[in-house]
Amino acid sequence: MSAPNKSYDPVEVEALKPEEIERMRDEALAAFAAAGDLDALTHAKTAHTSGTSPLALANREIGALPPQAKAEAGKRVGQARAAVNKALAARQAELEDERDARVLTEEAVDVTLPYDRTPAGARHPLTTFMERVADVFVAMGYEIAEGPEVEAEWFNFDALNFLPDHPARQMQDTFFVRSAEDRTGHPDSATEGESGVVLRTHTSPVQARTLLERKPPVYVVCPGRVYRTDELDATHTPVFHQIELLAVDEGLTMADLKGTLDHMVQALFGADLRTRLRPNYFPFTEPSAEMDMVCYVCRGASVGNPDRPCRTCGSEGWIELGGCGMVNPHVLTACGVDPQKYSGFAFGFGIERMLMFRHNIEDMRDMVEGDVRFTRPFGMEI
Ligand code: PHE
């Protein structure tokens, strides 16, 4: 601090001369303007507003002035400091805005970039669809029944009224399992067909197993894997899935079968879809029928209408779902059920086929090759 000013003239104090104060103020303003970022501004702030800044030091000199001069000098320094603080705040706000804008662009996330998160697995669409079909029946009070895939020939054929010379027993349809004594591996020793054990060719053996296990009334649905000696191509696979339904109770008729089929088709494909039955033959049902549903895409409009072809039904208007019928009394008898008292209906159809036309899948091989590009569009249902 300078010594008291004898002449009482504030301009005598160097630091309080108006042009000095202006210079200090202008230097501060210039320093703030020159600060290119918030760090630089913090330095400029310390240099020009702290207790040791030129203006703060000048302010202290005021105390040494004679009373008459204090007011004027105080006002001048005060105005300069106010201008400096205002400029500092303005620059501070400006630099903060700049920083925020920069952070927004620099830290923006490009949602179109490929991500490397490990994808979650999902069950195969065949499995989830098969469960969805089974659920339609579970909701009506049916129970799930299961049987082995390696099956006794008796269950697969005999109990189901297949006569010994039925063509389905022949080698071209059925995978016979070699007997335990015959595992030498030598081709000449093969006795397939004599072991009495097959890979089940349909889920119908579960009908016989269920009837032997439970007393009527029986209402079961059996989803499962079946095997046939087909080559893998666009419409065949040697391993595929079926869903079987069996109802045995007093007084069941074909009307019950038809109503059940209608309900299933409407639950899976949409309301108002009709079904139809065409006569057919299965040894284990009598009468037997092939069951079709009206094409859920064109609803028959493509039939005889070349301008409106339908890929889903091949412009047939109908889609074949599978076989059905009233349980043959021979089967009831073979399984210890009195056909005088009880009657039943059954049907069975292929899940792959249903999935194919439900999702416009053109090649069955896509379903078995395990390529995630096929399964991914079905979603992550587990
Ligand atoms: N098991 C028969 C098949 O695989 C389908 C079927 C099941 C037919 C039940 C009638 C009754 O072709």
Residue type, 344: G
Nearest to 236 by CA among 374, 352, 69, 68: 352
Mutate to test the pocket of ligand 1, among 282, 324, 349 (most ligand atoms within 8 A of CB): 282
Distance 204 CA to ligand 1 centre (A): 6
pTM of the model as a whole: 0.68
CA dist 57 and 62 (Å) reads 9
Which residue's alpha carbon is nearest to atom 4 within ligand 1?
Answer: 202
Distance 194 CA to ligand 1 centre (A): 24
Q: Which two tokens stand for residue 198?
A: 């097959």
Distance 349 CA to ligand 1 centre (A): 7
β-sheet bridge partners, residue 219 = 247
Residue type, 13: V
pLDDT by position in tens, the chain (length 382): 555 555 555 456 777 888 889 999 999 999 999 999 999 999 999 999 998 998 888 888 888 888 878 888 888 889 999 999 999 999 999 999 999 999 999 888 888 888 777 777 888 999 999 999 999 999 999 999 999 999 999 999 999 999 888 887 776 689 999 876 665 555 554 454 578 899 999 999 999 999 999 999 999 999 999 999 999 998 889 999 999 999 999 999 999 999 999 999 999 999 989 999 999 999 999 999 999 999 988 999 999 999 999 988 889 999 999 999 999 999 999 999 999 999 999 999 999 999 998 888 989 999 988 888 898 888 877 6
125-138 and 254-269 helices cross at what angle (nearest 10)? Answer: 130
How many helices (DSSP H) and strands (DSSP E) are in the chain? 12, 9
Mutate to test the pocket of ligand 1, among 202, 243, 246, 264 (most ligand atoms within 8 A of CB): 202
State which ligand 1 atom lies nearest to the alpha carbon of 245. Answer: 9
Exposure of 110 by Cβ count < 10 A (0-12 exposed, 13-18 middle, 19+ buried)? exposed
Q: Which two tokens stand for residue 267?
A: 């639950």
Distance 85 CA to ligand 1 centre (A): 91
Paired sense of beta strands 218-227 and 143-144, if any:
parallel
Distance 245 CA to ligand 1 centre (A): 9
Nearest to 70 by CA among 13, 1, 26, 23: 13
B/e letters for 126-143, b = 16+ CB within 10 Å, e = fewer, are beebbeebbebbeeeebe
DSSP letter string over 65-97? S-HHHHHHHHHHHHHHHHHHHHHHHHHHHHHHH
CA dist 10 and 68 (Å) reads 9
